Structures are given as structure tokens and as C-alpha cells.
Structure 1
Amino acid sequence: MSAPLVLLHGWGLSSAVWAPLTTQLSSDLTIHTPDLPGHGAAPAAGETLTDWADALIPALPDGATVVGWSLGAQLALHLAAHAPHKVARLLLIAASPRFVQTDNWPTAIPVDTLTEFRQSFDLDPAATQRRFVALQALGDAARREVSATLTATLTPADANRQPALATGLRLLAETDQRPLVSRITQPVRLLHGSEDKLMPVAAAEWLADHLPNGRLSVFQHSGHAPFVSRPADCATLIESFIRD
């Protein structure tokens, strides 16, 4: 029997977003798809990435292959460094060690762009979520399918969920995982869409170069959610990585 498989989704969505992928994975895999704190059916957890990781840890099996997408990739990197008994292998989709630009990190979105996005979310969260879905689907050959799937699996930004979702945006703005990357010694596979308009491929290339055991696969004609637009291809890559 293979090691358990954990799938950590991205900001503003729920674990239901993994359905296109999980239907393509072998039935002999034990798959865990937790909701991130404050997303889906999960209760909110503190204000830091550590708080969010600590909230996830009790439900995660030991020795898992952990797949993290976008914000979920940030959490997966944190878990690999700080709870290595939980992470035997790491597969990162649309990942970046830092989501916003700095003087020494140009391979990200401008700070002002994410600041405006956060302000927009405070004023009109539903419209901001729709805009975020559009950005994730942009450039993908299966743009309509990606948009429909992401829209259907959004966590509603109601009064109960909006504070946790706003915290998630702040974590995207503030988190910088570059200092811990060299400490992650598990085998790591990176999967990135060539047309990702949120996270440039260069960010994944940097991770592949700086992770001790990192390797990158780029899916052509795919955007920020290649596991939605090309689930069979992603499933094949994941299963090959697990059994390598």
C-alpha cells in the first residue's frame, strides 16, 4: 500500500476543488482533502501561517505525500520544514516562496496589486472572489472549465467566513518562505502552468534550483490550476512521484 496522499487547496476555495483530480487517481490511494482554516467546513484558526498549519496537523497522517496548491503550497512548505514526520514527499502546484515582489524578488505580483485586492475584498468580497477566479483561469486552454469549477467550489465570503478569508490574503501578502527552503530535504516535485498569470514560472524555477531535492514539470497551455484543466496528466505525475 502506498503512503497516504494529502491535498491542500488554495485561497478562497474548499477541498471540493480537488474533485476533478481525485476522480483520476487510483482507488488504492488513501486520500485526505482537508479544508484550510476558515474555508469550506473548517473552523477558523489564528492569525499566522503557523497557526493554520498547527490547526491542520492533528488530522494529517504521518509520512504522507503532501500536495499543496497556491496558498496550500505555502502551508505544505511550512509543514515539510516544521513537521517533517507528516511529510515524506512534497508536490507543489503553482507554488512560490513569496507571492509579492520585493527589491530582491521580482518573480511575483506587485505589492500594490495585492494591497488593492485586499482592500477590494473588504468592500465587496463576492466580486473580488469572482475576479480572483478569472485571474486563475486566465491563459488556460480550458479557461471556461477552470472558471466553472473554481466558481462552484468557492467558500462563500459571508460574515462568518470573511475574517478568515481576509487573514488568508494577508498571509499571502506577508509570507516569505525563502529562508526555510534549504531545510526541506524531502523529495519535491513542482508542477506549474506555463501561462500562470498569478505566479510566474520563474518562481517555481527558483524553488527547483534551491530545494535540495526539487524537480520542476511545466504544463504547457495551463494557468494557475492545471489539476483542474488537465486532471489526468496531473494524476499520472502524482502517482509516478508517489511510487518513484
Structure 2
Amino acid sequence: MSWFREQTGQGSTLLLLHGWGMESRVFAGWRALLEPYFTCISYDLPGHGRSPCTATGMHWPELLQQLQDLLSREATPPIVLGWSLGGLLALGLALNQRLRQPGLLRGLVLMASSPSFRQRADWSAGIPAATLEDFGLRLQTDPQGTRKRFLALQVLGDPQGRRALDGMAAWPSPDPACLADGLKLLQEVDLRAALATLTLPVQVIHGAQDRIVPPEAAFYLHQHIVDSQLTMLEQAGHAPFLSRPELCRDAILEHWT
């Protein structure tokens, strides 16, 4: 297992998981606001940034097991903050570890995330299936261009977020196989049925202008997770830690310190 790991700051442990097509340095500017209060640990997901795409790729059971193994090495149970796809992984980990390794986590922060990213017959608070299918087809011929289009969607209607993302589209593209695996997770994973079993404290942070994950997904998480708190940021899109970094930090400090 060779996930790139970075640690900075001081205080209780906050572990950061990035979204699809990105890497942990997307948090670099925001981490500076968190480091006086938290020991910040971030990982590059397999095939992203400085982590290689291994034979296991980004398949759901193996990915959760690897993440669980990594967290079990931490000195104290961390708060896990997952953004977008990272939030889906954090939620899956919490539901998984509840049965296998109680006490692995202190709690969750689900940022711009959802229990089901794809729309379904009984679920409208997601990305249309046709949109994800189109991304999948385009990935086969133009991985970097497809990633850039997805990044543009993340800051649509969010000028401050768009300025913060300037330059990130030029970062090296993730490994195409792991990028495709991650998109498949967004298409297939649906954790709604298990939410009521979650007993960890959970903070849900969402941008009211999110054009990828509708705010209804955040309301659903809050309604179906017993010990949860919802922070809705009115002027933020899909990357609220970029467009409203101080507000995101303050919301976390209020809840966890």
C-alpha cells in the first residue's frame, strides 16, 4: 500500500480526503487556516497526485480496507473530512468500521458530498445518469479534458471558487485507470439504506450554489444520520473550502473544538 501522506499542524487529528480527479494539494491553502488547531493529515487517493495506481485500483471493498488499515496506524482516532468523492469514502469507511473496528474514527465531516452521487428512480438529488455516462465515454479518449470539464462544473456560479481553482486544471491528470474507477464509484455506490445505523457524530457542510451535488443531498444526510449537524453556506458552490475558507474553518472549529 503506497498512499502519499502529508502531515502538518498541531492539535487533534483531522484527516482530509479529496474529491474525484483532484489530489491532496487542493487543500494546501486551506490547511494553513486549520493547522493552528488541528494536526492535518492528507492522502492522495490511488492514482492521484503522488500515489500510484496499483493493481487494486480504486475498487470499493479494497479501497475501504486500505483506508481502514491506514487509519488504524494513527496514534489517536481522527476526525475524517471527506470532500465530494472523499466524503463518500469517509461515509463508507464509517459504516464499514462500525462492524469491524469500533473506535477507529472520532467523527466525520461530509463536505459537498452525498450518499448517492447518481440520480436514481427514487433519488433526484444527484448527477443525472446520462451526465456520468458521458464522462465515462469521454474518459476513454480524453482523460485530461474530461477532468477539466468536471472541474469547471465544480465552480459554476461560484466566482470566488473559480479564481481559487485557477491553475489546478493544469495539474497532471490522474492515472486513467484509477480515474475511471473513481467515476464508477460515483455511478454505483448508494449508501442511503445504511445511514440510520451510523452512530458517529457527523457534520455536513454544503454550498447552497453547488451545481454537482444538490443541497437536497445534504438535507437528506442531516435528516437520516442521528447525530448530525448541518452547515449550509449560501454563497458557496461545490468547493466551499476554496470559495469560503474562513467560514468552513469556523464551522469546523465550532463543532469540534
Work out whether the TM-score is over 0.5: yes
- 2:242 pairs with 212, 228, 231, which one? 228
Report the Cα offset of residue 194 of structure 1.
0.7
Q: For residue 206 of structure 1, what is the amino acid of its counterpart?
A: Y
Instruction: Report 1:1-244 matches (<5 A).
Output: 2-44=11-53, 45-60=56-71, 61=74, 62-83=76-97, 84-148=102-166, 150-151=168-169, 154-157=171-174, 161-243=175-257
Report the Cα offset of residue 212 of structure 1.
0.9
For 1:106, what is the secondary structure of its paired residue? coil
1:86 & 1:5 partners in 2: Cα distance?
A: 13
Q: For residue 219 of structure 1, what is the amino acid of its counterpart?
A: L
Structure 2 contact 202–228 (Cα < 8 Å) conserved = yes
Structure 1 contact 37–55 (Cα < 8 Å) conserved = no
Greater RCO (CA < 8 Å, at least 6 residues apart): 1
Structure 2 contact 57–177 (Cα < 8 Å) conserved = no
1:94 & 1:163 partners in 2: Cα distance?
A: 24
Normalising by structure 1, report the TM-score. 0.92
Structure 1 residue runs of 5 or longer lacking an equivalent are: none
Q: Summarize deviations over 1:161-192 as a string: whole Å, max 9, x none.
A: 11011100011100001122112111111000
Q: 1:206 to 1:150 in 2, by over 3 A?
A: farther
Structure 2 contact 161–242 (Cα < 8 Å) conserved = no
1:56 & 1:64 partners in 2: Cα distance?
A: 12
Provide the identity percentage: 38
Q: 1:149 to 1:49 in 2, by over 3 A?
A: farther
2:167 & 2:118 partners in 1: Cα distance?
A: 26
Structure 1 contact 101–109 (Cα < 8 Å) conserved = yes
1:88 & 1:18 partners in 2: Cα distance?
A: 21
Normalising by structure 2, report the TM-score. 0.88
Aligned length: 239
Moved more, 180-189 or 83-92: 83-92
Q: Summarize deviations over 1:128-185 as a string: whole Å, max 9, x none.
A: 1110110001111414323316425x4524xxx1101110001110000112211211
Report the Cα offset of residue 91 of structure 1.
0.5
- Structural RMSD (CA): 1.7
Q: 1:37 to 1:47 in 2, by over 3 A?
A: closer
